[in-house]
Amino acid sequence: MRTGNLSELLGPQIGTDALGRPIFQGEAYDPATTRADGQGGFIRDPFMYNGQLNVINPARLSPISTFFQQGYKLPTTSGTSLNWLGFPYTSSLGDQRYFVKFDHTISSNQRISFSVQMPNLWWFPLGKGPSGVGRGHFDLFEGAGYLQPTVANGFFTNNGEDRYIFNYVLTLSSNKLFNFRAGMNRVPKRTIEPYPNQQLLTGAVTAGLTGTLSQKTPNVSIQGFSGFGPQYNLDSWNPQKNSITADLGWLRGNHELKFGSEYIGEFDGYFGSDGGQGNFSFRNLETGMPGFPLSGAGYASYLLGDVDSASVVSPTTSRSATGGIAFFAQDNWRVTHKLTVNYGLRWDLFIPLHLLHNKISTFDPTKPNPGAGGLLGALSLYGNGPGLNGLTRVADYYFKGFGPKFGFAYSINPKTVFRASYGISYLPYYQKFAGDLKAKVPQDGWSTTRTSANLDNGVTPAFQWDASGFPLTFPQFPTLDPALDNGGGIGYLDRHDNRPGMVENIGAELARELPGHVSIRIGYVGTMAHRLESNYNMNVLPLADFGLGNLLTQNINSPAAQAAGIKVPYAGFNRSVAQALLPYPQYLNVTNVLSQWGNSGYNALQVNVQRQLGSFVFLGNFTASKQLCNVTFG
C-alpha cells in the first residue's frame, strides 16, 4: 500500500457506473478523470497501473504524504487493519502532594479549622516534560508504538492544584448555630503539549507542508485507517474557583429553621495554540465514484494528497470571570406527631461570563456582510467603541431564579408512612461558558479557526496539500472585519438564552412494616430537566431543496445550475448549488453555541424490601426506569 498498490482493499461489487463498468467496494478512482456523466452526475476512471486494478502510479504520490508515511512502522502481521502487534512507548503517571490541617478551639462556643493541600516537590523529582518537572500531578505518554517519533501522538500534561479550606463555627445559644466556610481551588499553571522530539517539532517544515501556524507535524486522520500526529500543540491555563458559604441554624419550637447565602466565583486564564499545527482529514469520497459511498479509499486520497477538510486555529489568550450568588431559607416543621412538613425557597443569581478586554465575538443575523454583497449575517465583536456592538457580557442577568421546595411525611398508622416532595432547582449557569480549558465562547477577531472543506461530496477536494499547503490565510489580530469568517464557520451567542437550566424533582413513597421483620418501600422518582445546552447548526439546507438531487453538487456557475435558474447569492460566489441555497451562503455553518433548547425526562418505579434475621439484614431492590432526552449531555 505504501507504493500505491491498494488491491488488498478491493471488496465485492456494489454497482455499475454510467458506462456499465462494475464498481467494487474499496475501489479507488482517479479524481483527475472526473467528468459529467450526462445524467446530472459525475463519473471517474478507476486507478490502474501496469494492467493491475486499484494501483496508483507511484509518480502520482504526494511527496508530503510519502514523507509522513515513513512514520508508520512496517506491519508485523498480514492484512490491511490491526496488522501491527507491539507495545506503546513509555507512559507514566505521577501524583505527589501534601496535606496539612489546623484545628483550633477559640472558646467554648467558637472553633476554626484551616487546611491546605499543595503539590510537593521536596521528596523526589517527578517526570520531566517539555515545560519542566511535573508539579503535583502529571501524565506522560510518549505515543502509540506503531508510530515513529516524526508522527508520534504522545503528550505531556502537568496539573498541580492548590486547595485552601477555612471553616468557622459559632454557637450563639443552645438553639442557634452559625457556620462560615470559605475555600479556593487554584491551578497556578496547567499545561498540555506534545511529547517533545526534534523530528516532530519540525515535522511540517521537513515534509514541506506550508500554511499552518506551527512547524510541528500536523494531526492527520485517514478514513478507515489509524491517523497520526500530535493531539495537542500547546495549551496552558490557570483556573481558580472561590467559594464562600454562611448559614444560620435555629431550633424554634417545632421548627428547624436554616437561613444562608452562597457565593461562587470562577476565574480562568488561558493561552492556547492547539490546532496551530493543523488538523487534516482524508476520506474515501475524493477517490470514490460519486454517488457510491462504499467506493474509494481514504488511504488513496491520502497518498494523492487530496484533502477532504482541514482546519488551522490561530493562538488565543483569554481571562474570564463568572460566578453566582444565592440566598436560601428552609424549615423542617413537625406539625403533629404524625405529620412533618419541610419547605424552603432558594434564589439564584448567576453572573454572566465576562472576558478581559471583551474578547468575545458572535454572529449577528441582522448585520450586513460587506464581503457577501451586503447579505445579512456578519461577525460582531463585543466591547464599546467604533465597530463594536456595545456588549460586555455573554448575556443579561436573570433575576427570576426562584427555586421553591416542598415535602411532607405523614404517618398513616404506626406501621405505615407516606412521603411526597416537589422542588425546583437550577443548573449552575456560570458553568455554561466556563469550560474545562477555556471559556466556551467564540473569540473571532482576536483569534479564528480557518476551515477549508470540500463542498460537493468529494467531487473536488478541498485542496491538494503539496500544491498549496493549507490555502487560507490569517489577518493581523485584533481585527474588526465583519467578513472575517466568510467561507468558514461562525459561532452565534443567543442573548435570550440567559435563563439557567431548570430541574424539577418529584418524589412519592409509601413505606410499610410487614410481619416477620420485613419492611417494604414503594416509590416514584421523577426528574424533569429543561433548557439543557447543546450546539446546533442554524445554516442548513431547506428541506424543499433536497429535491434538486445531484444538482446540489454542481457549481453555481455551471450550465446545469444556470439552466435550473439558481441565482448566484452575491458577486464572486463560486461554490456549489447546495452552498448557495443555505440561509447564509457566506458561511459553511453557523453554530448556535450552547443553545438551551434541550429537555430531559426521567421516571422510575423503585421498590425496596428489607428483612432482618437476627444480626443479619437482607436487602432487595428493584428499579424500573425510563429516560427520554433530545440532547446529548454528560
pLDDT digits (tens, 9 = 90+) for 392-425: 999 999 999 999 999 999 999 999 999 999 999 9
Q: Report yes or no on 593 lying in a domain.
A: no
DSSP 8-state secondary structure symbol assigned to residue 87? -
Instruction: Decide if 474 is inside a domain.
Output: no
Q: Evaluate whether residue 423 is within a structural domain.
A: no
Residue 564 lies inside a defined structural domain of this protein: yes
Answer for the pair 349, 324: CB distance below 8 angstroms, yes or no. Answer: yes
Grade residue 124 by pLDDT with cuts at 50, 70 and 90. very low
Q: Does residue 548 belong to any structural domain of this protein?
A: yes
Is residue 567 in some structural domain?
A: yes
> Cα separation of 69 and 150, whole Å?
10
- Provide mean pLDDT across the span 517-544: 95
Q: Does some domain include residue 619?
A: no
Q: What is the pLDDT of residue 121?
A: 58
Spatial separation of the C-alpha atoms in residues 314 and 484, rounded to whole Å: 13
**Over residues 307-314, mean pLDDT:** 95
pLDDT tens digits, 446-494? 998 899 999 888 999 999 999 989 999 998 888 999 999 999 899 999 9
First to last CA, the chain: 41
3-state secondary structure 397-411: CCCCEEEEEEEEEEE
Q: What share of the chain is helix, strand, coil (3-state, %, to 5)?
A: 10, 50, 40
- Per residue in 217-230, pLDDT (tens digit) is 999 999 999 999 99
Q: What is the DSSP letter of 435?
A: -
Q: How many separate domains does the chain show? A: 1
Domain of residue 551: give its range. 542-575
Query: Considering the chain, what is the average pLDDT of its residues?
Result: 92
Beta bridge partners of 608: 521, 621
The pLDDT of residue 90 is 76
Q: Is 566 inside a domain boundary? A: yes
Of residues 87 and 522, more confidently modeled: 522
Residues of the chain with pLDDT > 70: what percent?
A: 97
* Distance of alpha carbon 288 from alpha carbon 1, whole angstroms: 17
List, as one string, the DSSP characters of 98-137.
Answer: EEEEEEEEEETTEEEEEEEEEE--SSS---EETTEE--SE
Q: The C-alpha cell of 97 is what? A: 502532594
